[in-house]
Structure 1
Amino acid sequence: MDQAPANDLLHRSEWRRRLQDAAPRRFSPVPVFKPDRAFRLVNHMHDTLAACEPLGSGFRSVHEGIDTQSALGRLLMNLLASLGRFEVELIS
């Protein structure tokens, strides 16, 4: 399951608005409730974090307390994403 429906991001208007607000640094880090609610795929997470990094922005998971603006936060986010993908592959 490394592919989201093609229109998944098109229907997530609030998510797109939140990312647009992060670009001019209206707030940083971008608050998310849980990483699995923000990012549907590992690739989506990596692409989004890579796009936000040059802007000086990141993400903070309210539920887990993970902040991607720190090295430990980026490591934990990658570990959780990898474990989530592993779980999906085991189930399928």
Structure 2
Amino acid sequence: MDDLTGFQRDLLYVIAGAEQPSGQEIKSEIEQYYSADINHGRLYPNLDAVVNKDLVEKGQLDRRTNYYELTETGEQAIEDRLEWVSRYTGQ
């Protein structure tokens, strides 16, 4: 996970906290956290990046809507990150 941007890490956390969220659901959650509008030009290339890194699987709900789900590699990356953070924060 060390090669991800902070935004990409945040996308992983949002995806981990939902059951097969669509891009729009992810966008809505991330906008609440960032307190700003996130445009498609920022969201979808970053989602594609985590898919290409095999951290997230992209599937199709219908002809217009994709869903995103963590892969085992993505789950492990989050676990490793949380372990690393807890080492320095004592949590």
Asked if these proteins are the same fold (TM beyond 0.5), I'd say: no
Looking at secondary structure, tell me which structure has more strand per residue. 2
TM-score normalised by the shorter chain: which range applies? 0.3 to 0.5
Higher-RCO chain (CA-CA 8 Å, sequence separation at least 6): 2
TM-score (norm 1): 0.34
